[in-house]
Structure 1
Amino acid sequence: MTLDAHLVVTRPRFRLDIELEVAAGQVVALLGPNGAGKTTALRALAGLTALSGGRILLDGEALHTLASERRPIGMVFQDYLLFPHLSALDNVAFGPRCKGASKAEARRGAAAWLERVGLAGYVAAKPRQLSGGQAQRVALARALAVGPRLLLLDEPLAALDAHTRLEIRSQLRRHLADFGGATVLVTHDPLDAMVLADQLVVIENGAIVQRGTPAEVARRPRTDYVARLVGLNLYRGLAAGRQVTVGEVGFSVAEHLDGPAFVAFRPGAVALYRTRPDGTPRNLWEATIEGIERHGDNVRIHLEGPITASADVTPAAVADLDLTPGQRIWAAVKATETHAYPA
């Protein structure tokens, strides 16, 4: 294990207490709502925020006793923080120069890194002359040029527009795959996390609430935040056989469970009816439409009632059912469309 960290940061109204393990060559993404403690964790790893307790071990070496400038890390900040008066080449060469490399040696290495990130033609450009995507790549090259054993990325794609983000995300994935050290990525974007990370660590209120591979977390969310992140309706109830009771609603599920359990299903799995449907028994409840909004190519209907749910329907279905806020509606989900698992 390359990184073994227990991060404890105590403030008057907030406490971060999490444990992280990141193997060599692995990318771990920290996800969570605003104020969860993601950036605090990253700054603690970098030595920019002091630990109140815990440890940071990298290849067995204690980093928490070292000043930030002595830690073998590279960091890409959300706003990149390139030196505005330096060229792209000298921005990348800055780190090696601080570590004792000669000017010529540092600039040779910087030129090689700029070539690797596809910016060989921008060595003389100042940050103000670079696009957002180009600035991000210079910042990444600057972080990697010092030969770090730990790479820290704080919302590295947040400042980019949607089109540029798509291209740079793909390029960043390739660069991270070539990096032999441990990488910790902070993001609030689930797509960035799913594409870039090998493992997800979800933080809420300074504590880890879920961890696992992107597929595991997406399939079995354990909090409302994670469920919204991956686009699922999620409920906690009590299972007895193939039935899970959530408040006043009983869900028939495919799995056989007993005890506390979660039930999850996609908004697209929810069918809406003006009147109570007949026919095959299904998971059914009556609700009130609280809101209607466009969601991609579909329309998302927000439902309130014995349970709160989101339903995705086509614009044609909205017209056919004459759906309006405040309207009473019947909602149904087939048992085969639900996913139940132990809580």
Structure 2
Amino acid sequence: MTALDAHIVVDRGTFRLDAPLRIDRGEVVALLGPNGAGKTTALRALAGLQPLTGGHITLDGETLDNPDRRLWTPTENRPIGVVFQDYLLFPHLTALDNVAFGPRRHGVDRHTAKREAAQWLHRVGLAGYEKRKPRHLSGGQAQRVALARALAVRPQLLLLDEPLAALDARTRLDTRAELHHHLGDHPGATLLVTHDPLDALVLADRLVIIEDGRIVQEGDAATITARPRTDYVARLVGLNLYRGHADGHSVRIDDLTLTVTDELFGDAFVAFPPAAVALHPNRPDGSPRNTWPATITGLQRHGDNLRVQLDGPIVVAADITPAAAAHLDLAPGRAVWAAVKAAETRAYPS
């Protein structure tokens, strides 16, 4: 059943956010996008920290915002929990009192609020840390206190703003696994705002991609990774992506025609991974491949391989082994031939 039904419209100078968003109860949705896309503005609007210009926000059938009806619900009256990127724990309060703050604000008596707060700290693995203040907590512990504080008000909607961004790599790995467990137990809707694709893929049931204030793609991880629809999404999932015109098993992209296994007609996307791109010192013969001349513009380490940036009729990233790079004597400015088998491509309507 749908918990959040929102159409978030916010005008800020020359920037306009116009994003419909729906989240079911028990569902975790990741809002992904580059810096400046509108992710944080959307979160602030849902939390009541940024007024809407238009649209509406409805949560479990109750309208919280609707500018056309001059309806706006103050932040403190919304059934929403928020975990901010920097956690924003009250520095003068203990972990227990930080978590008890929300229930107390909702009218729960002091004794009950503290008992519930202790239970939440136990649930997030912090039993015994009740008397510690934020300055005596590690980054991962502070994140768990912030999560417990947000969940203690039993929110219908949980908002997570880059919840793992402030953690080091090792702490992030452990905390991500713990967060996945806690989100699975949350009965309400959850919106995770992030620019990290791994956080989104591990934690979310569905991805919503936002660019320049508009949603450009949404779906489960398999759908998004198989068929990216913008350059940002393609980079996110590690694919070369091109838009062209298809005529059967051929797709024309600017001055290059690629042969593909999928049969399509009309505007189409073609995608293939950098690992599918082979490089040759001379034009390869006798192979059922797409080939074109290219010039190397950059080389960098990419895991155990080298990522080679190529210019030519299309701009391409290719991943090759260090041994292959040495054999080809690769260097910026060198001319090579690039090749991709038709079977390595994915073509789909644009």
- TM-score by length of structure 2 reads 0.97
Which residues of 2 match residues 323-338 of structure 1 at below 5 A? Answer: 323-338=330-345
- Does residue 1:263 correspond to 2:270, yes or no? yes
1:9 corresponds to: 10
**Does the alignment pair 1:276 with 2:283?**
yes
What SS is found at the alignment partner of 1:121? coil
Secondary structure at the aligned position of 1:63 is classed as strand
Counting only pairs closer than 5 Å after superposition, residues 31-50 of structure 1 correspond to structure 2 as 31-50=32-51
5 Å-filtered alignment, 1:159-308, equals: 159-308=166-315
Q: For residue 197 of structure 2, what is the amino acid of its counterpart?
A: P
- Give the Cα–Cα distance (whole angstroms) in 1 for the partners of residues 275 and 100 of structure 2: 51
- Provide the secondary structure at the position in 2 that maps to 1:2: strand
* Pairing partner for 1:133 from 140, 148, 165: 140
Instruction: List per-residue Cα deviations over 1:88-109 (Å, max 9, x = no partner).
Output: 1111111111111111111100
Tell me, in whole angstroms, the C-alpha distance in 1 between the residues paired with 2:210 and 2:319.
28
1-structure distance, mates of 2:18, 2:109: 41
Q: Deviations over 1:307-329 (max 9, x none)?
A: 00100111111111111011111
For 1:311, the equivalent position in structure 2 comes to 318
SS in 1 for 2:247: strand
CA deviations 1:63-105 (Å, max 9, x no partner) are: 1121111000000000000111111111111111111111111
- Aligned mates of 2:126, 2:37 — CA distance in 1: 36
Name 1:30's counterpart in structure 2: 31
Whether 1:153 aligns to 2:160 is: yes
1:31 partner amino acid? L
Q: Deviations over 1:136-162 (max 9, x none)?
A: 111000000011000000000001111
- Is 2:321 the counterpart of 1:320? no
Structure 2: any 5+ residue segments left out of the alignment?
66-71
Query: Does residue 60 of structure 1 match 2:67?
Result: no
Residues of 1 paired with 2:332 and 2:129: CA distance? 54
Residue of 52, 74, 91 corresponding to 2:81:
74
Whichever residue aligns with residue 91 of structure 2, its letter is P
TM-score, reference length from structure 1: 0.99
Aligned-partner Cα distance in 2 for 1:11–1:28: 25
Paired letter, 2:248: G
> Is 1:144 matched with 2:151?
yes
**Root-mean-square deviation over aligned CA pairs:** 0.7
Letter in 2 for 1:115: H
How far is the alpha carbon of 1:12 from its aligned partner? 1.3
For each residue in 1:30-76, what CA deviation from the matched residue of structure 2 results, as whole angstroms up to 9, or x when unmatched?
11110000000000000000000110011110111211110000000
Structure 2 residue identity aligned to 1:36: A
CA distance in 1, matches of 2:310, 2:34: 23
In the alignment, the residues of structure 2 paired with residue 121 and residue 304 of structure 1 have an alpha-carbon distance, to the nearest angstrom, of 58
User: For 1:265-307, what per-residue CA distance to the aligned partner results, in whole angstroms no more than 9, with x for missing partners?
Assistant: 0001100011111112311111111100001111100011110
Partner of residue 93, structure 1: 100
Query: What percentage of residue pairs aligned between the two structures are identical?
Result: 67
1:189 offset after TM fit, Å? 0.3
- Paired letter, 1:38: K
- 1:81-120 matched pairs, under 5 angstroms: 81-120=88-127
The answer for unaligned runs of 5 or more in structure 1 is none
Distance in 2 separating the partners of 1:304 and 1:87: 57
Aligned-partner Cα distance in 2 for 1:334–1:262 = 16
- Once the two structures are TM-superposed, the CA of residue 214 in structure 1 deviates from its matched residue by 1.1
Q: Deviations over 1:114-139 (max 9, x none)?
A: 00000002111111111111111110
The 1-side partners of 2:305 and 2:99 are apart by 45
State the 1:205 CA deviation: 0.6
1:183-235 per-position Cα deviation (integer Å, ceiling 9, x unaligned)? 01100000100111111111111011111111101110000000000000000
Report runs of 4+ in structure 1 exceeding 6 Å deviation.
none
Counterpart AA for 2:303: G
Q: Secondary structure at the match of 1:43?
A: helix
Which residue is equivalent to 2:69? none
Residue type of the partner of 1:234? L
CA distance in structure 1 between the aligned counterparts of 2:105 and 2:224, rounded to whole angstroms? 41
Shift of 1:254: 1.0
